[in-house]
Homo-oligomer: A and B are copies of this chain.
């Protein structure tokens, strides 16, 4: 039989209100009774029922996350898992539970609406980096607490976390230039996405600041984040120019480029991808990449949300996560390829 707060109260010879106070560590309670009640609790192995507490407090202490499952995001498994880890880490620290749901293309907002209207979660983290503002608006309108991963187009008090994609690209290009590279190729995809736009901006600015002329022949932007994009991109660029270093917007794209280099025994070009997936690490040669710390993104997204839920004032409504270049074999220009 389940043991409730009443059982404890009876056994301890106090009212259940007192037990409740002990549970929530209320100030206004004598050390004596506190000790007494805690003993009983321990002895009986009493565990408060979360549902009842939730109902009484009108909060669930749980965070909802919606994992996008649109075509292609299959490739971001690594990233999503890392996000989830980060979220989980903060949640455990703060005593929150996490609910997840996969949003299929069509019913993604249905899932979100369900989650936030049925009172099963206190707030939501949207894992989608390229969020449609429809959902953001929906949540904002209802004043439902949420944070997005990926800077939203209009930052009007929306809570968000993101890398500074401009700076990431800027720093990377500067670093390459410092290492003697002058003709640096950039192969991207999804022109409309912020990730692309910010990174290409950083790329351009870095060239400018180093007095290197921007050359459209060195830039390619394909459709999908895929190895085919990499293959097609590098092929096209090489037909018009001769870079010494290549930046790919994603490791998968970099894999395509790497393949092309291998097939054509091109061994004098540096290659750097983004997102530091397993894929990059286990290629031959191993592909350098930029780690964007998905776990941190998740952790701070959760922190932003929880602070908001608990009315703790954050200095700001967003958080920028750092990044790091992971140097592997392809970082050098002269690579021993099979």
Contacts and interface: CB of A to CB of B under 8 A. Distances in A.
Nearest to A251: B282
Interface string A250-286: 0010010001001100000000000000110011100
B118 A47 contact: yes
Contacts of A120: 50-51, 62, 97
A120 B78 CA distance: 28
Given A88-B100, A99-B98, A51 B48 contact: no
Contacts of A337: 338
A4 to B, nearest CB: 11
Contacts of A99: 62, 97-100
Interface stretch (A5-13, A79-87, A201-209): A79-87
A161 B298 CA distance: 31
Interface stretch (A52-60, A234-242, A318-326): A52-60
Contacts of A119: 49-51
B77 A81 contact: yes
A329 to B, nearest CB: 12
Q: Which of A80, A101, A119 has the most CB of B within 10 A?
A: A119
A75 B337 CA distance: 26
Contacts of A80: 81
Contacts of A255: 282
Nearest to A82: B77
A172 interface: no
Contacts of A75: 278
A55 B20 CA distance: 18
A89 to B, nearest CB: 7
Contacts of A51: 51, 54-55, 60, 119-120
Interface in A287-338: 337-338
Nearest to A265: B338
A329 B54 CA distance: 55
B118 A102 contact: no
Interface string A113-125: 0000111100000
Q: Which of A60, A99, A102 has the most CB of B within 10 A?
A: A102
Contact of A100 (B69, B84, B282): B84
A106 to B, nearest CB: 12
A227 interface: yes
A151 to B, nearest CB: 25
Given A50-B118, A338-B262, A338-B338, A282 B284 contact: no
A150 to B, nearest CB: 19
Contacts of A24: none
Interface string A66-82: 01010000010110110
26 contacts: A47-B117, A49-B55, A50-B118, A51-B60, A52-B55, A69-B85, A75-B278, A77-B278, A80-B81, A81-B81, A85-B102, A88-B100, A91-B101, A92-B102, A92-B111, A97-B101, A97-B120, A98-B100, A99-B100, A252-B282, A262-B338, A278-B278, A278-B279, A279-B279, A279-B282, A282-B283
Q: Which of A47, A50, A111 has the most CB of B within 10 A?
A: A50
